[in-house]
Amino acid sequence: EVQLVQSGAEVKKPGESLKISCEASGYTFANYWIGWVRQMPGKGLEWMGNIYPADSDTRYSPSFQGQVTISADKSITTAYLQWTSLKASDTAMYYCVRQRNYIELDFWGQGTLVTVSS
Amino acid sequence: DIQMTQSPSSLSASVGDRVTITCQASQDISKYLNWYQQKPGIAPKLLIYDASTLETGVPSRFSGSGSGTDFTFTISSLQPEDIATYYCQQYDKFPLMFGGGTKVEIK
């Protein structure tokens, strides 16, 4: 059974750094792109970018390029999303997703709620 | 970026009704469109890919059609468990882009 299990909710202050995780199981982690999707409070879905764990090829949506870093450790089948300096506007739910054939987001993590507030 | 416009943004229908949602792309995306369902408080779920192919395990009352710039998502007979927000998503061009969502409620 494919599962993506994300790390728990975070409350941070503006300017702090953060790294959230997504542990995959039930399939060959290296062979599927893993992406991240943002959902701001009460809003729609935004695809942020993805990574191919086999070779760490990483792509970012232009809207998120330079704002976050996506990485993966295939030895522990875990993907990460990190920020170096959080802003209040980063407050959102973040989902990791398995991207079948790159294009279909067929399995989703349960989401990690990130709250940034002074 | 390709912009995806869904309509309506919300709708209210009775159990058993036929429900239709449209998704329009800002340019030709062939059949490269997926549909997702997001129930309140949980992660989205893939329902349809390639504009009209039902994901395994998805009830047959859900269907999709269209190509080019205009797409339709239909629930043939609305059930109480279909209360959710539905999103289209294009994959013709990078970056992947979602529509704004359609919230479906029971009247």
B95-107 pLDDT, tens digit per residue, is 999 999 999 999 9
pLDDT in tens, B42-87: 999 999 999 999 999 999 999 999 999 999 999 999 999 999 999 9
Alpha helix positions (H), B1-107: none
Percentage above 90 pLDDT, chain A: 97
Residue of B50, B96, B98 for testing the chain A interface, max A β-carbons within 10 Å: B96
CA distance B49 to A69: 28
Query: Nearest by CB to B97, which of A47, A59, A109?
Result: A47
Among B36, B48, B50, residue whose Cα is nearest residue B84: B36
Name every residue in B having a CB less than 8 A away from some CB of A. Answer: 1, 32, 34, 36, 38, 42-46, 49, 55, 87, 89, 91, 94-101
Write out chain B residues lying below 8 Å of A113, CB-based. none
Containing B74, the helix (H) or strand (E) segment is: strand B70-75
Total residues found in chain A within this entry:
118
pLDDT reported for residue A35: 98
Average pLDDT over residues B9-16: 98
> What would the pLDDT profile of B63-75 be if each residue is shown by its tens digit?
999 999 999 999 9
Question: What Rg do the C-alpha atoms of chain A give, in angstroms?
Answer: 13
Q: What is the structure's pLDDT at A112?
A: 98
For A101, nearest residue in chain B (alpha carbons) = B91
Residues of chain A with pLDDT under 50: none
SS3 B53: strand
Express each pLDDT in A64-76 by its tens digit: 999 999 999 999 9
In sequence order, which residues have a C-beta less than 8 Å from that of residue A115 and are 6 or more positions away? Answer: A9, A10, A11, A12, A91
Report d(CA A64, CA A77) in Å as an integer: 24
Cα A90 vs. chain centroid, distance in angstroms? 13
Is B79 in contact with B40 (CB distance < 8 Å)?
no
What is the rounded distance in angstroms from the CA atom of residue A4 to the CA atom of residue A111?
9
Nearest chain A residue to B44, by CA? A108
10 Å CB burial of residue A74 (0-12, 13-18, 19+) is middle
pLDDT of residue A29: 97
